[in-house]
Structure formats: structure tokens, C-alpha cells
Chains A and B, each alone.
Chain A
């Protein structure tokens, strides 16, 4: 099918998913019993007027959404209420303006705090994924080529173990080993005060702090990628066109490079896309362990501090990022697979 048609359908679908997530996000935080502002509001030290004032400030006096008769305590409003004056549309309106609310903890706009975090998470995931993908494809291919030999079994063993490790635990172990035996920094993005540096010293400082977190993420993802690459390669090895390539007189190295690798990239891209949720879960755990100031740490801290606007904003941001990354992967796939192209 034509590429632009393919892309349009994917973009539409991604948009639909984002809208779904936004709606889900809203209802989760309004409907579930752990209602954010109510938690703040129930503080017995507040007077009744103060509680009302808070309620008004956070728009909790308005009905959640209209056309459902009030089902206490959910407070759905009747159809006569102006739909735009319901919590849902206020929320939607705010979102479209980029307003994600105000943090209970710092009183700063959530979107500012998230902006900084998002970049850090992308740095962590970016490096970790690159290493894992590169090594995963290379080692998986080698393991397939040497299938059923000692190298292969060792590789398979490593993959199965790596896959079974809880990410946070691997982080803890590496943190312990790294700080005790290697003297690597294990907390945060900079050494205290280092955020003021620029240029090379800044890069080196951040780089040193990145080593352990990135290593953790790479090891976890590596296991899965190697496994998939290995089984994909084995399947490709049995294809007729590999026999043709061999009959043409190509040496094994070139067959692996020009025929196997190229064809293996398709399922790999699909797997990487499928694993984005897994990657994000890993990032959350790693950031929590190493106090790396990304979106994952934001969620972790927001949970601990009951900072619900922050939690809601972080969740939305993470979900949207994943949907977007998924879209990018599909875009890449459309370039790799010639069947998504011309007539």
C-alpha cells in the first residue's frame, strides 16, 4: 500500500490512542476513591470554609460530567448543566493549552517539572536502547550462526537469566558493586553543584553518572533482543534466498550482512516497538534506584508524596511518549519493508 496512506492511518490511530489515554487519565483520577483533592481536603485541621475554598480552587464543586444523574459520590451532573462547565471539559481545555495542573508538593506548574524530566529519561532510554539493540543484533546473529554449539548455549543461558532479573534488583546490585568497588557515582545526574558546569566537564560528569543506569537498562533489554534476533535469524537461514545467495558464491560473512541482517531488521523493529512499555517500566525502576531525574523518578516520588497532579501529569506524559515512539517505529518499518510502498 502507498506509504502516505499507511502513515496517515498510523497517525490517526496514534491520535485516537492519545485521546483515549487522556480520557482514561481524567476518569481514573476523578472516579477512583483516592480522589486527589479530597485527600488534601479531608485534613481535619482545615475549617469548613477553607475546605470549600480549596474545593472551588481545584474545581471540585463542579459536576464531573453532565448527562449522568448524580451518582454520589461520583457527582455526575444532570443534562441541564452546561457541558463546558463540568470538570471533564475544564480538564480537556486545560490539556489543550498545555496546562497539566499544579504540583501539590512544589506548587510549580506540573508541565515545567515534567519538561526537565522528560529530557533526562530520553537520554537514559536512548543510550540504553542503542547499546542493547546494537549488541543484541550482533550477538543474536552470531548465536544463530553457531546454533547448538557451546557459544549458543552460553548465549541462551545469559538471555534467559537476563530476562528473569527484576530490573530494580539488577540496578541495586550494580549500584552496590559499582560504588563499592569501582567508585562510580550512583545518585542523580550531576555531582552536587555540578549542574553549573558547562562543556566538557559537564559531559564527563553526566556521563559518569549515566554509566550504571545505562548498563542496567542495556543488560535487561539485551537479553530479549538477543533471543528474538537469534530465532529470527534461524528462520531466515532456512529461506530459499539464502541458498541462492550461497549458490551465487557469496562468502558467509556477506550473506549474513547483506541478506540475513537486512531481513532480520523488520521483525526487530516490530519487537522494539512492542517492548516500549517494558522499556519504560525499566526506566521507572532504574531512575528510582539511581535517583536519575527523569519521568520515572517523578512518578516514584509523586506516589510517595501523594502529589496527585504530578502523578497524573507524569503518567499522561509517559503514555503519550510511548505512543509517539511506537509511531516512530512504525514509520521506520515502512521504510524498511519495500512492500509498504508502491503499487
Chain B
């Protein structure tokens, strides 16, 4: 695999970022979610963790002036739950992804750089982890331990490193053979030094682009685990909101507000991350899109050469 050398200077990345509307859309979407999460206590009209007294009328109440998005199965305000739910998704997403990327990076660089038996063992291990399906294993791990937030972060983190490991190893292999690395060896630089100063800076940009993907996968996985009943019961999360709404009569009550909103939240943040990820990939790994089967171009233009009025 032949990787285009990504721009390494921070400035050059920022420059390329300017024209990339995909990445910007993603950043905006992400930022709105972060703001929602950070300022939740100020923004949310109610406190989801407070004790409230409810009557039958308050359960699955449709949207009204007091509850802009209606209430859920326990009479709680859906909008407030929604706003607070952003916190769990983001926290789990970032921290679990951090664990995954660190593990993946370590394994990838070690495998790529040292080669030989180490690479064989590490890559075989990665292959096995790739083949074992993630969600069932995560379900088993969380079910057998405990559905606490820390635990969920840990489980998602230790299962999500495989794509990063492969990517990093590929890049390490190609960087390893380049001239400046050979030169560094020739003057006697130690392994740690070479990795730190030469290999890592060229691997980092791809890891950054990849980590965006990993975060989005972590968020999806957290919401799925919560939906399946393995979420942290002490915290509000979007997946859990959907679990309650679905398993506690939301469908038969016609409470679309409780069923649709939390999902939209997940879609919003994951889509934002996906846009950002694709935008970053365009920057770090651009592809030429000219090819032999271009459609609809009129190749023949009569008239003076260089006339300029060429039909598209």
C-alpha cells in the first residue's frame, strides 16, 4: 500500500482545512453537541436526576409548552434527558476511543517497526480479534462484570483497536524504509529515538483521522449496549432513553417524541464525526478523480485553438 505523505506541519493542515466544507460541517456539528453537554445544567429546563412526583397524566405526555419534547415513561422531561444524554455519549466516545487508539498505535508501531516474530504474533492476534464479533463479546463482558460507566468505557476501548493497529502498521512499514530513517540508523540513532522523532510524526496524522472514526464507532457501540439493557443505570444516556421508551410501552402509546429524539441525537453526533473523518481523509489521503470513463465531456471543439469557450 502506497500512502501519500500527509501534511505534517500544523499550519499546512489548517490551510488545507479551510476549503474543506465537509470537515467544517463536521466540526460545527460536533461543537454544538459538546456545548450541549458541557452547559447541560444551564440549558436543560429540568434536572433529570431530581426526584419528581408524577401522576398517570404525566407519563408519555405529548409535547407541550411545559415539556417541549413531551415526557417519557417515568414522567420526566424528554428535552432535559436529551440534553444530559449528550454527556454520556461524548464521554464514553472520547475516552473509549482514546484507549483504542493508544493500544492500536502501540501494537501497530511495534509490529511495523520490529517486524519478524513480534510482527507475526501481534498481527495474528489482531486477526483473531478482528474475526471475533465485537458486539456479542462486549455484551458478554459487560454482562459478566457490571454496567458501570467506567466499565463500559474500558470494554469498548479494549475491543476497538484493530483498525487502528492495521493502519498504523501499514504506515510504519512504509515510513521505515524511507531514506531519512535509514540515515538516522546509519548515524547510530537508537530505536526509541527513531520511533519518536521520525516515525511517529508521520503516523500521527493518520491516527488522528482514524480516531475520528473510532470515536463514532464507540458512540454507536455505547448507545447499542445501553439499548440492550447494559447501560449505566445511574446515568442518562440516549441509548438508555431508547431502551426505556421501547421496552416500556412507548410504541403502543404512540410516544414518537420519546422514540425519535434520542436517536436523532446519536445520528447528529455520529454524522458530524463522519463528515469530519471524511474531510480529514480528503486532506491526508487525496485521490485523483480523473479517469478514462469520464462521462458527458465533449472532447472535440471546433474553432480557433485556445478559443476558451469549451463545452463542458
Q: Which residues of A contact B (CB under 8 A)?
A: 13, 16-17, 20-21, 24, 28-29, 32-34, 145-149, 160-161, 163-169, 172-173, 175-176, 179-180, 231, 234-235, 237-238, 242-243, 246, 252, 255-256, 274, 276-277, 280-281, 284-285, 288-289, 299-300, 303-304, 311-312, 314-315, 318-319, 322-323, 326
Contact A172 B263 (CB under 8 A): yes
Q: Does B133 contact A (CB under 8 A)?
A: yes
Chain B residues near A234 (CB-CB < 8 A)? 287, 289, 291
Which one of B94-102, B195-203, B220-228, B303-311 is at the interface? B220-228
Contacts of B141 in A (CB 8 A): 28, 32
Of all chain A residues, the one with the shortest Cβ separation from B137 is A315
State in angstroms the CA–CA spacing of A280 and B130 once bound together. Answer: 13
Q: Which of B134, B227, B230, B293 contacts A145 (CB 8 A)?
A: B293
**Interface membership of B111, Cβ < 8 A:** no
Q: CA of A149 to CA of B294 in the docked complex: distance in angstroms?
A: 11
CB distance from B284 to the nearest CB of A (A): 15
> Considering only CB atoms, which chain A residue lies closest to B230 in the complex?
A303
**Given A28-B144, A234-B289, A319:B295 Cβ within 8 A:** no
Query: Could you say which residues of chain A place their CB within 8 Å of the CB of B275?
Result: 160
Can you name 16 A-B pairs with beta carbons within 8 Å? Answer: A13-B127, A17-B127, A28-B140, A28-B141, A32-B141, A33-B145, A34-B146, A169-B262, A172-B242, A173-B260, A176-B256, A238-B288, A246-B292, A281-B224, A304-B229, A322-B131
Closest to B255 in A: A176
Which residues in chain B, 259-276, are within 8 Å of chain A measured between CB atoms? 259-260, 262-263, 266-267, 270-271, 274-275
Q: Are B263 and A169 in contact (CB under 8 A)?
A: yes
Near A by CB (< 8 A), chain B positions 235-252 give: 239, 242, 246, 251
State whether A161 and B267 are in contact (beta carbons under 8 Å apart), knowing that A17-B131, A34-B145, A315-B136 are contacts in the complex. Answer: yes
Query: Does B290 sit within 8 A of A, measured CB to CB?
Result: yes
Chain A residues, Cβ within 8 Å of B134: 277, 281
Given A168-B224, A319-B136, 11 new contacts (CB under 8 A): A17-B128, A17-B131, A166-B266, A172-B259, A173-B260, A179-B251, A234-B289, A280-B136, A303-B143, A318-B133, A323-B131
The residues of A that contact B230 with a CB separation of less than 8 Å are: 303
Q: Which of chain B's residues have a CB closer than 8 A to the CB of A179?
A: 251
How far, in angstroms, from A289 to B293 measured CA to CA in the complex?
A: 44
Q: Is A20 a contact partner of B293 (Cβ separation < 8 A)?
A: no
Would you call the interface of chain A mostly helix, strand, loop, or mixed?
helix
Interface status of B172 (Cβ within 8 A of chain A): no
In this complex, what residue of A is CB-closest to B239? A166
* B278 lies within 8 A of chain A by Cβ: yes
Name the B residues within 8 Å of A169 (CB-CB). Answer: 223, 227, 242, 262-263, 266-267
Q: Is the CB of A322 within 8 A of B132?
A: yes
A residues less than 8 Å from B128 (CB atoms): 16-17, 20
Complex: A107 Cα to B289 Cα, angstroms: 61
B68 at the interface (CB under 8 A from A): no
Given the known A-B contacts A172-B263, A234-B287, are A276 and B133 also in contact in the complex, defined by CB atoms under 8 Å? Answer: yes
Q: Which of A34, A242, A281 is B293 in contact with, Cβ under 8 Å?
A: A242
**Is A161 touching B137 in the complex (CB atoms < 8 A)?**
no
A237 touches B291 (CB 8 A): yes
B139 at the interface (CB under 8 A from A): yes
Contact (Cβ within 8 A) B251 A165 = no
B132 touches A285 (CB 8 A): no
Instruction: Please tell me if the beta carbons of B289 and A148 are within 8 angstroms of each other in the complex.
Output: yes
* Measured CA separation A33–B146 after assembly (Å): 9
Chain B residues whose C-beta falls within 8 Å of the C-beta of A322 in the assembled complex = 131-133
Q: Is the CB of A311 within 8 A of B140?
A: yes
